[in-house]
Amino acid sequence: MKGIRFHASPVLEIKLPAWRSRLVMLVLFAGFLALLVRALYLQAFSTNFLQSQGEMRYARTLEMPATRGKIMDRNGVVLASSLPAWAIWALPEDVDANPDQLNSLARLLDVPVGEIKKKTNDEERKFVYLKRQVSPELADQIEHLNLSGIHERKEFHRFYSQGETTAHLLGFTNVEDVGQEGIELAWEKDLAGQPGSRRVLRDRLGRVIEDVASIRVPHDGQDLTLSIDGQIQYLAFSQLKAAIDAHRAKAGAIVVLDVRTGEVLALANWPTYNPNDRSDLTGAQLRNRVLTDTYEPGSTLKPFTISLALEKGVVTPETMVNTSPGKLTIGTATISDSHAHGTISVEDIIKVSSNIGTAKIALRMDPKDMWEMYTSVGLGQAPHLGFPGAVAGRLRPYKAWRPIEQATMSYGYGLSVSLMQMARAYTIFARNGDLVPLTLFKADGPPQSVQVLPPGIAAEMRHMLEQAAGPGGTAPKAQVVGYRVAGKTGTAHKLVDGAYSENKYVGSFVGFAPVSNPRIVVAVMIDEPGDGIYYGGDVAAPVFSAVVGGALRKLSVEPDSPIKSLIIPSDALSESP
C-alpha cells in the first residue's frame, strides 16, 4: 500500500459534469426558499387561523343561562318560578367506567343501565345527554362517582306552585325552559331574558381549568304580576271540579272578572293537567275552554236582545207579550217554551226565560240593529288578551239572516261564543252600560271604557236579571247569603255532526254581584252534564253561588242583603232549551 498515491485513484480521476452540482445546489436552494416562504406565510398571514385552531382544542365559549322571570298573582304569591337543576351529559369517546360504576350511575338517574351503555358506547356521537333536569342533590351524588367522560351542566327546572289549578292560565315550558303554552308562551320574550356567555379553558377531559373572560353578562327575565287572585282561583277551580264530578259532566269552565277594572281574577277549566308532571298529558287536557272553545250561549243571550228593544223603544219592561200556546211557527220551523206562560210582561220574559217572547220582540227589530248590538259587546271578535288560541266565535252577517234565524239568534242559537266573551259582555249590565277591555295583568288604574247601553237601560236590566236569579226565576240556586245577585241561565242543545242532539246539552250561568254596587262577573259553563240534570239553573248556578260568596268575602265586599237562610222553592222554573 505504501507505493500507491491516493490522489492518483482512478475514481478521483472521473470528472462529473458541472451542471449536476449546480442542479443539486439549485434544488437545495429552492427547498430552503419554500420553507422560508411557508414560514413567512404561517407567521405573517395565518396567525389568526392557527390561533383559532389551537383554541378549538382547549378554549370554549360557555353559555351563561339567564334566570327565567317569575309569574306571580296580584298579591305577590309566586305561581311559577325556575329552580336550579343539572343536565348530565357524556363524551362517549372519553367515557371510562366499569360495570359497577355504570350500574351506580343508572340507579341514580333511574335509567336502565342498557340505555346508559348504548349512549356511552356510541362513539360516532361526540356529545350525548344522559338525563336532563336532575336535582342538585342527585347531581352531587353523581359527581362523587368520579366517572371519566361524564359531565354536568347547570340548567333550570320550571316549578308551578298551584299545579293543575292554574295550568291552563300559566301553561308550561319545555326542557329548555322555553314557553310552550299559556302565559309562558305568550310572554316568552319578557320572561326568558337574555343569556350571557364566558370564555374558559378546558383540559382534554372537558373540565374547566380557568376562566378567561366574560363575553356577555346574562340579563334575567322580567317578572310578571297577573291579575289573578290565587285564593279566588283555587275556589273557582275546586267548585268547578266538584260540580263536574257531581253531574258526571264531560268538561267545564269558569271565569271571574273584576267589574271595575276588567281584570281576570280567576280562570279555570276541567279536565286539566299537572304542569309539573306532564307524562300522561292529552290534547283534551290542554284545551283552555274559557278562551279556545265555543258553544251556543242559549238563554244567556236574551238580555242583550231585550236591552236593545228597550233602547230602541220597541218595548218597555211592562209591555205585555202573548206567548200562548207555548209554541211559535216561523216559516216551516217551530220554536217552543219549556212551559206555557200565556201573556207575560217583558220583565217576566227574562225571569221565566221565554223563547217565544224573546223571538217575538226580536222580529219587531231590524236585524242590522241586533247584529250591531252583539258585535258592540265583543261577540264575533277574539278577546284582546294577548293569550294564544283565543277564538272569535261565529256571528254571521245580518244580511244573511232569515226570519227564523233572527228569532233563534235572539235566544242564543245559530251563533257561537266563548265563555270569556259572555263574561265580558255581561259587564255592561254590571256597570252603567259601558264596556271595558279585559286584562290578565294587574291593572295600575281605571280602564278606558266604551258606552254600549244608556245607563238607565243597564239599570233596568240589572233589575230584570236579579228577578231571574231569585225565587220564581230560573236560577234561585244562584243566590248568595248576604248579597243580592243577578244573572241568567242558559241551556242549549249541542250540535253533533251538524244536527242538534236530543240528549247532549251545555248548561251555563252568567251573572254578577252585589247588585247594589256590582264588583264581580262570574260565568260558568258545564259541558254535557249527565244523570238527566242539565239545566243551567241546576248545574251551573250553584257553582256561581259558591264562587261569588267566597270571592266577595275575600275581596271584603260589604253585604247588601239581610243575612238569612235562603229558601229555594221546589217549583223553580227551568229555562227553555
The catalytic position among 227, 299, 353, 574 is 299
CB atoms within 10 A of CB 308: 23
561 is an active site residue:
no
Q: Which helix (H) or strand (E) holds 24?
A: helix 18-40
- Give 565's pLDDT tier (boundaries 50, 70, 90): very low
370 found inside a domain = yes
Verify that 188 and 207 share a domain, yes or no: yes
DSSP-based three-state secondary structure for 523: strand
- Of residues 418 and 139, which shows the higher confidence score? 418
pLDDT in tens, 431-459: 999 999 999 999 988 899 999 999 999 99
Whether 45 contacts 38, CB under 8 Å = no
Of the candidates 366, 251, 370, 249, which has an alpha carbon nearest to the alpha carbon of residue 304?
370
pLDDT score of 43 more than 80: no
User: What does the pLDDT average to over 471-482?
Assistant: 93
**Per-residue pLDDT reduced to its tens digit, 81-125:** 999 888 888 878 777 778 888 888 888 888 888 888 888 887 677
Average pLDDT over residues 192-204: 70
Pairing status of strand 71-72 against strand 224-225: parallel
The domain that holds 281 is classified in CATH as 3.40.710.10
The mean pLDDT value for 531-560 works out to: 95
Question: Which of 225, 249, 268 corresponds to the end of one domain?
Answer: 225
Q: What are phi and psi of 535, to 5 degrees?
A: -65, 145
Same domain, 176 and 270: no
Q: Return d(Cα 61, Cα 63) in angstroms, integer.
A: 7
Residue 544 per-residue DSSP state: H
Cell numbers describing residue 249: 259532566
Q: How many domains does the chain have?
A: 2
Angle between helices 99-109 and 113-120 (to 10 degrees): 120
Give per-residue pLDDT as tens, 363-417. Answer: 999 999 999 999 999 999 999 888 888 999 999 999 999 999 999 999 999 999 9
Task: Mark whether 407 and 512 lie in a shared domain.
Answer: yes
Per-residue pLDDT tens over the stretch 116-132: 888 888 767 777 888 88
Q: Is 420 exposed, middle or buried (0-12, 13-18, 19+ CB in 10 A)?
A: buried
Distance CA 500, CA 335 (A): 14
Residue whose entry in the numeric block shows the C-alpha cell 228577578: 467
* CA dist 310 → 304, 342, 406, 458, 490 (Å): 10, 21, 17, 10, 21
From 384, 184, 163, 168, select the one nearest 267 (Cα to Cα). Answer: 168
How far is it, in rounded angstroms, from Cα 377 to Cα 307? Answer: 12
Beta bridge partners of 148: 96
Is there a single domain that holds both residue 220 and residue 235?
A: no
Whether residue 486 sits in one domain with residue 391: yes
* Residue 173, domain extent: 62-225
Residue 275 and residue 211 share a domain: no
The rounded percent of the chain whose pLDDT value lies above 90 is 59
**Which among 3, 154, 577 is positioned nearest to 336, based on CA atoms?**
577
CB 400 within 8 A of CB 410: no
The three grid cell numbers given for residue 526, joined into one nine-digit string: 258545564
- Listed range (173-182, 310-319, 348-357, 515-524) with the worst mean pLDDT: 173-182
Domain assignment of residue 3, yes or no: no
CATH assignment of the domain containing 159 = 3.90.1310.10
